Structure 1
Amino acid sequence: MPSSVETLEFQAETRQLLRLVIHSIYSNKDIFLRELISNASDALDKLRLASLTDASLSEADTSDLQISLEVDKDARTLTVRDNGIGMTRDDLVELIGTIAKSGTASLLEKIKESKDAATTESLIGQFGVGFYSAFMVADKVTVHTRRAGTDSGTQWESDGEGSYTIQAADDLPVGTSVTLHLKPADSEDGLADYLSESKIRQIVKRYSDFIRWPIRMAADRTDADGEATSDLDTLNSMKALWARPRSEVTEDEYNEFYQQISHDWLPPAETIHMRAEGTFEYEALLFIPAQAPFDLYSRESKSGVQLYVKRVFIMDDCEALMPNYLRFVKGVVDAHDLSLNVSRELLQHDRQIQGVRRRLVKKVLGALKGMQDKDTERYTKVWAQFGRALKEGLLEDTDNTEALLELVSATSTHDPEKTTTLREYVERMKDGQDTIYYLTGETRAMVENSPHMEAFTAKGYEVLILTDPIDEVWVDQVPAFDGHRLQSIAKGQVDLDDTADDETETDADKAQREQDFAALLPWLTTTLSDHIKQVRLSSRLTTSAACIVGDAHDVTPTLEKMYRAMGQQMPTVKRILELNPTHPLITALRTAHHADAEAPALTEVAELIYGSALLAEGGDLPDPARFTRLLTDHLTRTL
């Protein structure tokens, strides 16, 4: 006697959610197969776990756990079958009814407002929302299932509209089969591909390659005699390297996997294999490349690592798990339990995710520090490729400022052939020196030849040479390293005599010098007031006549140009002209001014001194034509 068929109505809220799943939430229809395979994998996991504690489950129930895909092109059906835990009638009603429980209306409202709105529970592995993605490609779905340890099975069927039917079914194997009656091939969705062996292989390879259970499908073959045969192929590799102990993975396997996910044919510079256990479990396999991708500093450059949940691929470039300044890091993170939105495609920004991110960042920075300590040559090459990106972290990641400062590497006046770390700089500091000196500029040659360097070179003080555009920014954001203040030698007052090994100038000498220039300095300040705010004597010059410096907190000219290039309005910053009191030109100017302060030629000389100082630091003349004419006239008069 045939079993009775029950027809149950979907609740109104469930119908709304079903329509959203079919038409709005999923951006890629291929996702349906990922969801069904994931549900099948969960069922196999549950059976394996249940068999460890339930003596009623026979050994045969877990002897060959697998997922099989079956295609019937004539009937236009695709079946996803597993021999996992299975379900009873009540399980089916309860699990499908989950989305219709209290709170569904609120969830629907959030989904309507924003596709990435946070939900209150993880829907991973539930035979519910993911299952309904099948209706994106099918106009009818039939489920046959039998719970392990029971004798009777159940059939569920629906067209995804207003109701579903449920009835008992005899002679079913343990497990679940989901049969999709695909929409017509000539429908507007164009779904013929989902009966194609190559299309199915492609989807499995992308989303489900690392699931621990074999995914099998009959594949058509032609033997040597031209006869058609059908073999059973395993579509997934099941080789999730991150789930294996590091001791069991070879370097070749790591390199092969890295090349697969990065499309980089060079081996990585560093491999990071980690496992986190406790309240939130995950595995991660990360790689630091040996060379930067061509688009590392492009706006279109994508950042983040691949995200898996229980070996199911969720998304590429998961920005929530890796900060932008570590966008060069490649790899995967596989979470055992992670809150996702209703489509599994977008992450909720919750504490778990932030916790994983913090640990990953510390692991990557720790690996770079280990490389720096143990293999200087390799680290120098990695820094050359990614140092500029890492320095972005000094602006973005205040929690890891100290760790990032330990990684900073730069050229310096100590050894032009090698880079130095801040730690090495500090270890070489002169007795009594408590400041880390640096100078920024567009090129190394420009910095090395800057007038600002003269006194530091003469007195043996090391100066860091910073030429990355971002150096102009981060040095102002980071006040100190290991208790030592960072100071630009082109800003503020510099008096190296205070820390020099031998003091060569007495206080009386300084007082006399100030008196000698008491009249010239204010006159020059007034004469050049359109360009500068002050003229003073310098202690940083030994051979040049003059240089231009900023106050301690002034924006540098290079940074001012950068802001203006980005469209930001910047007020003109007047700087300070410093004079070398021992230079022949400056002493001659002082003498001439003392003899005749009104002489017209003095103003022209003042302009030439200012313009020369501006050119020496790589600046732009306010009036190049006038400067050239003045210079030509004065040269002519001297010949």
Structure 2
Amino acid sequence: MTKKTLPFQAEVAQLLHLVTHALYSNKEIFMRELVSNASDACDKLRFEAISNSGLYEDAPNLEVRVSFDKDAKTLTITDNGIGLTQQEAIENLGTIAKSGTKDFVSKLSGDQKADSQLIGQFGVGFYSGFIVADRITVESRRAGVPANEGVRWTSDGGASGGDAFEVENITREQRGTSVILHLRDDALEYASTWKLKSIISKYSDHISLPILMEKEEWKDGELINPNDEAGGRQPGGMVNTGEWEAVNKASAIWARAKKDISQEQYDDFYKQISHDFEAPLAHTHNRVEGSTEYTQLLYVPGKAPQDLWNRDKKGGLKLYVKRVFIMDDAEALLPSYLRFVKGVVDSADLPLNVSRELLQESRDVKAIREGCTKRVLGMLEDLAKHNALPETSADGVTDVVSDEDKALVGKYTQFYAEFGAVLKEGLGEDFANRDRLAKLLRFASSTTDSTTVSLADYKARMKEGQEAIYYITADNAAAAKNSPQLEVFKKKGIEVLLMTDRVDEWALNYLHDFDGTPMQSVAKGAVDLGKLLDEDEKKAAEEAAETFKPLLAKLKEALKDKAEDVRVTTRLVDSPACLVVQDDGMSTQLARMLKQAGQSAPETKPVLEVNAEHALVKKLEGSVHFNDLAHILFDQALLAEGGLPADPAAYVKRVNALLV
């Protein structure tokens, strides 16, 4: 049959322009698409051969071969899959709307349709070859048809000004398809064994059939003059040996049954995708079925990366669609507070040409995101549950602990030391899982230095009559533990949580209570210990407030530029004064943090609380240095909570004058 020239469908002409100019920002993606198409063709043959084994002909082993010819400037991807007839080549390579695979799947029903979910489509991805090629030749023969019914399809992708392709009959002994790329001069780097192996390893390592390339070996250069060893040699180089070897592992670990995968294999895969030398703390491997079908293999690392707090660094999971690699950092698959999680999601529902923009809008992606988030939180809950060995009971009986549970001992402590601060971001980002996140938080407290106290632990040992979970935020543990605002709590034996991460002040704005018990900052509002104060203490506080009214008014006038109010407090025992803010106000620590970060903070004045029993406060009455003492009292309270006086020189001058 003579050669025929046929026009591309109008949409294909538009697509070709997009492909060569904008569709793929990464040129090497063409190999992913063409190898994927070759794999799909083999999957399709495997499925059809279930009812017609003769389609295998004399080659039952399915494979993809990649070869190149530097002199001819060609790169060839060959498969021995189902192949194409001439009409299928015209329909599948000349149009987008027509897809042989879609027609094929539409004919199936019941179990057959479920079994064919891994069969992809030989469609749009084919045109990505024009990113690196100025001409593509496809030679193919469908399985089961005579050798003389092969087809050759050729196009320059519209480079010559025409939107057309050519087809002709050829004789082809081998079934399947060869896609021959005639490389552009700026794409000759792809005629390289090393380059192609690295791309295949990156994008197609888990294609479930072997991808073969010819072995190469070094050959010394020949003597220019065979009779004269000193005459020099022609340059040596790498030459093909004629043997073929698999360059991919040919096994998607997440697609295998969990019972067939060892812990070592799970750990090795984690190290491969994360470039981490250490094993992960935990992993979860699940196949999710329902309205959205996908497989997830997720890992919690043991160490935080150095760029964990770099907001410009892209994070996320590797996204595959039907075992075809789509992107490295699919941020839409997990919330940002879980950006430390590594792993793979393989979807059966997303399109192969999915982009980051489509991910943000897809309902399927939202379902995957919710599912992955729940699985990760479940992993962390399991680590937290087994973080410590059970204690021996009073009668000397200890629960039996399995080796698997023993392996988890201490792992949550390790996790929290690395990722606890970033986990707290979820309080403000993930309302749906806020209660689960709250249970995972750990803090130091006024009764312990280690960061091991959970909110549930705290609540379980609250004093009778205590109505709130008390906490304090500070720049560091020492500043928190020695804060004057803790004095009455220490005196009463009331535990206070010490929060020293920079994110705490922001995160606690979103956690108003835990399991029905309100969270209360000891640095906000007037301290009200309620039932924890006895009647004598309440009466003494009321009398002090009344007695000190004139002094408080005088202090308020002296400090009107610094303090919003001045009042007597019961929270102080040893210190003369402290600073607090109103219940709905921004804490002084948060205001300092914002200013240090170069951001604006609202100008708010704190409340000065004074200890009526302290000698320095009593000395204020009738003192000729009242104003100086008042300002010193305020500035010392500011220093005690980690701040600095607005005018350090004036503070030093006042102190020196009094010392003299």
1:61 Cα deviation from its structure 2 partner: 7.0
Structure 1 equivalent of residue 404 of structure 2: none
Q: Distance in 2 between matches of 1:401 and 1:506?
A: 37
Paired residue type of 1:84: G
Q: Distance in 2 between matches of 1:168 and 1:404?
A: 65
Structure 1 equivalent of residue 654 of structure 2: 630
Paired residue type of 1:415: T
1:10 Cα deviation from its structure 2 partner: 2.0
1:379 Cα deviation from its structure 2 partner: 0.6
When the two chains are superposed, the root-mean-square deviation of aligned CA atoms in Å is 2.6
Q: Distance in 1 between matches of 2:253 and 2:640?
A: 57
1:128 Cα deviation from its structure 2 partner: 2.9
Asked if 1 retains the 8 angstrom alpha-carbon contact of 2:45 and 2:55, the reply is no
Structure 1 equivalent of residue 96 of structure 2: 99
Asked if 2 retains the 8 angstrom alpha-carbon contact of 1:315 and 1:345, the reply is no
Structure 1 unaligned regions, length at least 5: 102-121, 593-598
Pairing partner for 2:639 from 597, 612, 615: 615
- Going from structure 1 to structure 2, the CA distance change for 1:417 and 1:132 (only over 3 Å counts) comes to closer
SS of residue paired to 2:655: helix
Q: Distance in 2 between matches of 1:534 and 1:65?
A: 82
Paired residue type of 2:588: P
- Going from structure 1 to structure 2, the CA distance change for 1:545 and 1:288 (only over 3 Å counts) comes to same
Structure-to-structure mapping, 1:101-500, within 5 angstroms: 125-151=120-146, 152-161=149-158, 162-183=163-184, 187=185, 189=186, 191-221=187-217, 229-341=241-353, 347=359, 349-376=361-388, 377-496=410-529, 498-500=530-532
Aligned length: 600
- Going from structure 1 to structure 2, the CA distance change for 1:363 and 1:134 (only over 3 Å counts) comes to same
Paired residue type of 1:42: D
SS of residue paired to 1:622: coil
1:514 Cα deviation from its structure 2 partner: 2.8
Structure 2 equivalent of residue 27 of structure 1: 25
Identity of aligned residues (%): 45
- Going from structure 1 to structure 2, the CA distance change for 1:194 and 1:346 (only over 3 Å counts) comes to farther
Structure-to-structure mapping, 1:559-598, within 5 angstroms: 559-590=590-621, 592=622
Q: Distance in 1 between matches of 2:355 and 2:316?
A: 20
SS of residue paired to 2:449: coil
SS of residue paired to 1:536: strand
Asked if 2 retains the 8 angstrom alpha-carbon contact of 1:340 and 1:346, the reply is no
Structure 2 equivalent of residue 115 of structure 1: none
Q: Distance in 1 between matches of 2:49 and 2:192?
A: 36
4+ residue runs of structure 1 moved beyond 6 angstroms?
342-346
Q: Distance in 2 between matches of 1:567 and 1:635?
A: 37
Asked if 2 retains the 8 angstrom alpha-carbon contact of 1:285 and 1:333, the reply is yes
Q: Distance in 2 between matches of 1:418 and 1:33?
A: 49
Which stretch shifts more, 524-533 or 214-223? 214-223
Paired residue type of 2:202: R
TM-score when normalising by structure 1 = 0.89
1:495 Cα deviation from its structure 2 partner: 2.3
Q: Distance in 2 between matches of 1:56 and 1:256?
A: 37
Paired residue type of 2:182: H
Q: Distance in 1 between matches of 2:308 and 2:376?
A: 18
SS of residue paired to 1:379: helix
Q: Distance in 1 between matches of 2:168 and 2:90?
A: 11
Query: What CA deviation, in whole Å up to 9, does each residue of 1:241-287 have, x standing for no partner?
Result: 21112222112212222111212111111122121123332222211
Q: Distance in 1 between matches of 2:67 and 2:619?
A: 97
Q: Distance in 2 between matches of 1:21 and 1:510?
A: 78
- Going from structure 1 to structure 2, the CA distance change for 1:519 and 1:61 (only over 3 Å counts) comes to farther
Q: Distance in 2 between matches of 1:8 and 1:19?
A: 18
1:59 Cα deviation from its structure 2 partner: 5.3
Structure 1 equivalent of residue 588 of structure 2: 557
SS of residue paired to 1:504: helix
Paired residue type of 2:166: T
Q: Distance in 2 between matches of 1:462 and 1:628?
A: 36
1:100 Cα deviation from its structure 2 partner: 6.4
1:468 Cα deviation from its structure 2 partner: 0.7
Does 2:499 correspond to 1:504?
no
Paired residue type of 1:416: D
Q: Distance in 2 between matches of 1:532 and 1:501?
A: 27
SS of residue paired to 1:499: helix
1:567 Cα deviation from its structure 2 partner: 3.8
Q: Distance in 1 between matches of 2:202 and 2:562?
A: 63
Structure 2 unaligned regions, length at least 5: 99-116, 223-238, 389-409
**Greater relative contact order (Cα < 8 A, sep 6+):** 1
Structure 2 equivalent of residue 110 of structure 1: none
Asked if 1 retains the 8 angstrom alpha-carbon contact of 2:65 and 2:211, the reply is yes
Does 2:557 correspond to 1:526?
yes
Asked if 2 retains the 8 angstrom alpha-carbon contact of 1:61 and 1:148, the reply is no
Paired residue type of 1:465: L
Which stretch shifts more, 466-475 or 145-154? 145-154
- Going from structure 1 to structure 2, the CA distance change for 1:139 and 1:525 (only over 3 Å counts) comes to same
1:346 Cα deviation from its structure 2 partner: 7.1
Asked if 2 retains the 8 angstrom alpha-carbon contact of 1:68 and 1:217, the reply is yes
Structure 2 equivalent of residue 104 of structure 1: none
Query: What CA deviation, in whole Å up to 9, does each residue of 1:568-602 have, x standing for no partner?
Result: 33331111111112112223334x2xxxxxx6422
Which stretch shifts more, 365-374 or 227-236? 227-236
TM-score when normalising by structure 2 = 0.86
Query: What CA deviation, in whole Å up to 9, does each residue of 1:222-241 have, x standing for no partner?
Result: 699x9973211111111322
1:130 Cα deviation from its structure 2 partner: 1.1
Does 2:539 correspond to 1:543?
no
- Going from structure 1 to structure 2, the CA distance change for 1:431 and 1:353 (only over 3 Å counts) comes to same
Q: Distance in 2 between matches of 1:472 and 1:342?
A: 39
Which stretch shifts more, 534-543 or 296-305? 296-305
1:408 Cα deviation from its structure 2 partner: 0.6
Pairing partner for 1:51 from 49, 52, 55: 49
Which stretch shifts more, 560-569 or 545-554? 560-569
Q: Distance in 2 between matches of 1:371 and 1:513?
A: 51
SS of residue paired to 2:448: coil
Asked if 2 retains the 8 angstrom alpha-carbon contact of 1:99 and 1:128, the reply is yes
1:43 Cα deviation from its structure 2 partner: 0.9
Paired residue type of 1:204: I
Q: Distance in 1 between matches of 2:78 and 2:542?
A: 94
Which stretch shifts more, 24-33 or 345-354? 345-354
- Going from structure 1 to structure 2, the CA distance change for 1:292 and 1:452 (only over 3 Å counts) comes to same
Query: What CA deviation, in whole Å up to 9, does each residue of 1:497-521 have, x standing for no partner?
Result: x2227543354x4443233112111
Q: Distance in 2 between matches of 1:129 and 1:230?
A: 33
SS of residue paired to 1:519: helix
- Going from structure 1 to structure 2, the CA distance change for 1:347 and 1:147 (only over 3 Å counts) comes to farther
